[in-house]
Structure 1
């Protein structure tokens, strides 16, 4: 899963957003210089019949005065459940080898193939230091390390901010570098190699097990692989008047190296849509992304509206649009609610295929990962927060998320016409936060 691995530019974006749009400023104003500010949260994310995530976050910020600020963050999350493999469902049962090669699992007829042994634990630690270097100019230096069972990520970032026009305008430029080491369970699959399944052809007993293991190992590379990502961010934040503020960012990202998901598969079918073999995906070894992000906040007498739009494109031909809106409404001086609506739409990657045809030559790159296909998604939710007499604040956020993959013009041949190849993904999100 890449659910927790798509944060290449998060540090830079957080810096830009916090420049003048920090929603935690009011809480921090109750703290004196040299006090620690703690933000904690526990989040549950659960997909129907699929992946579940439980995440805990502790963020600590200390202002040493004169804009010398230290922020540290610890994130621990666990993922369990069933992950879609990319193989298509069939009107008959299908058997798959587990990624480790140790055992097999069988899916029922007309059932989307899911590997129900998916599980992982991630621990991430990050830190960021902010300080002025001369009048109205600050630098931010950060670093992070994240570890999973099969994944290690190390990164660093640096950015500079400068205020203009009585601090009504802030410009930001940032760079970050991320290095990831990948060591998949069972080894890295050879790109587009066929999955080896023990259907009795290797014989019985220990000799049969040894023969299967030999055949399985021939489709694997045991050495670790890596990828690197360089991100750049250009941002501008502008105070329009005492009620309105806007922000505009441009970001660039360049990734190279091992970009495959080692656990994703493709079905190779005949002219009747029946699966003849299962192969491991292969993606390009580089990816360049561009995105433009615009945000505005407007303060009413008893509410704050927050609306943003992001357009992103890359050389995989994925184009996406994201509209995000929140309205914080003050019920009293100590209580507020915040409805949230987010809409997302993307086109498919140029190498996305829901399946491959055995009459065609295998393409150089191909993936059936639905996250690379055409889709729309919507999130709706509500947050309630209360500030206590001691200045501490707690909040509860509940959201519903639905992702709807689309058919980007592929023909559902033969038996595939009766199968659900693009099922929706539905999830519930619940978060409890406490700031002190």
Structure 2
């Protein structure tokens, strides 16, 4: 699955500021010189049912995020700091074994996962709030077994009164050092690099609507295998094996429309992605931003996702025939997913409070083509969050 880079997403959303102020972009119209926001969220995966070996309880993630966005040098520069801390626990799908009838039985790692992740990103923007700006980004994240550092640059510039061009790129370097490497015969150290480039165009169709389109290409190289996953290869259980190179490409189209007469806005997104491993995916998302008066806003969202399987995905190989690559990771199988969320916000002066919840369900039957090999470890999950935003003159 290929998601838009953070820089591409920022460029695509920036065109919404060209619309009149509505609930959808009220934050963009705020004249405060400094914005601060805090988010707390809890993500819980449902216990796995069916043919399972091990503790069926899965991931639980508690996350805290603090953002500070301020203007420097009289507004000539903008500085954005984003700090995140996550605490993760639970069990994870480990490998799939066949039963006597060659039906898949999911084996889980046991509820022994205990980890945390800390991340910090910095973005410095020249001429923030204008259609001609340049942003320089740097980020770093660390877990017990994983470190990642990235840098990027992006540029947004108007081509005419109604069209804005965005483009840029980024590079990341990741270090993987799995835990319990000697105990489970895992690798002790590996690296991977990812280079990304993108371009986007945004058109102001009229005073109430914007159409945006973008393309993104990622090139990953290095250790792209999950060091914690095993695979049933005939009578053997081996470490899974994936190619050491992956090329991903995605196209995105977004439409934003303001309905000032009813204090509302519509967001429609479509994304198509394809990669060199054989995965293709479609994503459709629709959100409605509704002002309710007295500082209240309601934002319901619907999202559908579908992907085909990687060429080397299989739950297991009962009679292997010299396959070079193999993985039973459910994230590489054929499946579809549907999620619904609701977010309610209340503005009081420079403060805005928000509460939200999301329910996510995945199944093979939700994919465009629900055939092919079984995918026994698909996720159902619930996420809830609360937030607080504050603006300072």
Scaled by the length of structure 2, the TM-score of the pair is 0.86
Asked whether 1:56 is paired with 2:57, we answer: no
The 1:405/1:117 distance shift into structure 2, 3 A limit, reads: farther
Question: What is the aligned-residue RMSD (CA, Å)?
Answer: 2.5
Asked whether 1:257 is paired with 2:255, we answer: no
Q: Give me the whole-angstrom Cα distance separating, in 1, the residues matched to 2:142 and 2:69.
A: 23
Q: Is the 8 A contact 2:12 2:213 kept in 1?
A: no
Deviations 1:274-298 (A, max 9, x none): xx33211000000000000000111
Q: Give me the whole-angstrom Cα distance separating, in 1, the residues matched to 2:275 and 2:180.
A: 31
Q: Give me the whole-angstrom Cα distance separating, in 1, the residues matched to 2:160 and 2:278.
A: 40
Q: Is the 8 A contact 2:336 2:363 kept in 1?
A: yes
Q: Give me the whole-angstrom Cα distance separating, in 1, the residues matched to 2:2 and 2:147.
A: 14
C-alpha deviation, 1:186, in angstroms: 2.5
C-alpha deviation, 1:66, in angstroms: 4.2
The 1:338/1:220 distance shift into structure 2, 3 A limit, reads: closer
Q: Is the 8 A contact 2:233 2:320 kept in 1?
A: no
The 1:7/1:318 distance shift into structure 2, 3 A limit, reads: closer
Deviations 1:57-104 (A, max 9, x none): 101000234441111100111111111113236479xxxxxxxxxxxx
Q: What's the counterpart of residue 53 of structure 2?
A: none
> Which of 118, 126, 130 in structure 1 is aligned with 2:125?
130
Q: Is the 8 A contact 1:404 1:423 kept in 2?
A: no
Asked whether 1:377 is paired with 2:337, we answer: yes
Query: Which aligned segments of 4 or more residues in structure 1 are displaced greater than 6 angstroms?
Result: none
The 1:91/1:332 distance shift into structure 2, 3 A limit, reads: farther
Q: Is the 8 A contact 1:91 1:110 kept in 2?
A: no
> Which of 47, 50, 53 in structure 1 is aligned with 2:45?
47
Q: Look up the SS of the partner of 1:184 in the other structure.
A: coil
Q: What's the counterpart of residue 318 of structure 1?
A: 279
Q: Look up the SS of the partner of 1:21 in the other structure.
A: helix
C-alpha deviation, 1:365, in angstroms: 0.6
Q: Give me the whole-angstrom Cα distance separating, in 1, the residues matched to 2:92 and 2:98.
A: 14
Q: Is the 8 A contact 2:41 2:64 kept in 1?
A: yes
Scaled by the length of structure 1, the TM-score of the pair is 0.78
Q: Give me the whole-angstrom Cα distance separating, in 2, the residues matched to 1:365 and 1:111.
A: 21
Q: Is the 8 A contact 2:86 2:116 kept in 1?
A: yes
Q: Give me the whole-angstrom Cα distance separating, in 2, the residues matched to 1:42 and 1:17.
A: 26
Q: Give me the whole-angstrom Cα distance separating, in 2, the residues matched to 1:121 and 1:81.
A: 12
Q: Is the 8 A contact 1:348 1:408 kept in 2?
A: no
Query: Rg larger in 1 or in 2?
Result: 1
- Equivalenced residue count is 365
Q: Is the 8 A contact 1:370 1:405 kept in 2?
A: no
C-alpha deviation, 1:8, in angstroms: 8.1
> Which of 22, 37, 42 in structure 1 is aligned with 2:35?
37
C-alpha deviation, 1:12, in angstroms: 1.3
C-alpha deviation, 1:408, in angstroms: 4.0
Q: Give me the whole-angstrom Cα distance separating, in 2, the residues matched to 1:423 and 1:267.
A: 15
Q: Look up the SS of the partner of 2:327 in the other structure.
A: coil
> Which of 6, 23, 27 in structure 2 is aligned with 1:11?
6
Q: What's the counterpart of residue 332 of structure 1?
A: 293
Which structure 1 segments of 5+ residues have no match? 1-5, 93-108, 188-212, 270-275, 413-420
Q: Give me the whole-angstrom Cα distance separating, in 2, the residues matched to 1:47 and 1:89.
A: 24
Q: Is the 8 A contact 2:282 2:306 kept in 1?
A: yes
Q: Give me the whole-angstrom Cα distance separating, in 2, the residues matched to 1:265 and 1:83.
A: 12
Q: Which has the higher contact order (CA 8 A, sep 6+)?
A: 2
> Which of 76, 95, 106 in structure 2 is aligned with 1:86?
95
Q: Give me the whole-angstrom Cα distance separating, in 1, the residues matched to 2:361 and 2:171.
A: 32
Q: What's the counterpart of residue 278 of structure 1?
A: 237
Which structure 2 segments of 5+ residues have no match? 18-22, 48-57
Asked whether 1:297 is paired with 2:256, we answer: yes
Q: Is the 8 A contact 1:341 1:380 kept in 2?
A: yes
Deviations 1:110-133 (A, max 9, x none): 963111212321100000011049
The 1:121/1:163 distance shift into structure 2, 3 A limit, reads: same
C-alpha deviation, 1:236, in angstroms: 0.7
The 1:8/1:126 distance shift into structure 2, 3 A limit, reads: farther
The 1:281/1:384 distance shift into structure 2, 3 A limit, reads: same
Q: What's the counterpart of residue 213 of structure 2?
A: 248
Q: What's the counterpart of residue 171 of structure 1?
A: 165
> Which of 317, 321, 328 in structure 2 is aligned with 1:361?
321
Q: Give me the whole-angstrom Cα distance separating, in 2, the residues matched to 1:311 and 1:378.
A: 16
C-alpha deviation, 1:317, in angstroms: 0.7
The 1:7/1:354 distance shift into structure 2, 3 A limit, reads: closer
The structure where strand makes up a greater share of residues is 2
Q: Give me the whole-angstrom Cα distance separating, in 2, the residues matched to 1:151 and 1:143.
A: 17
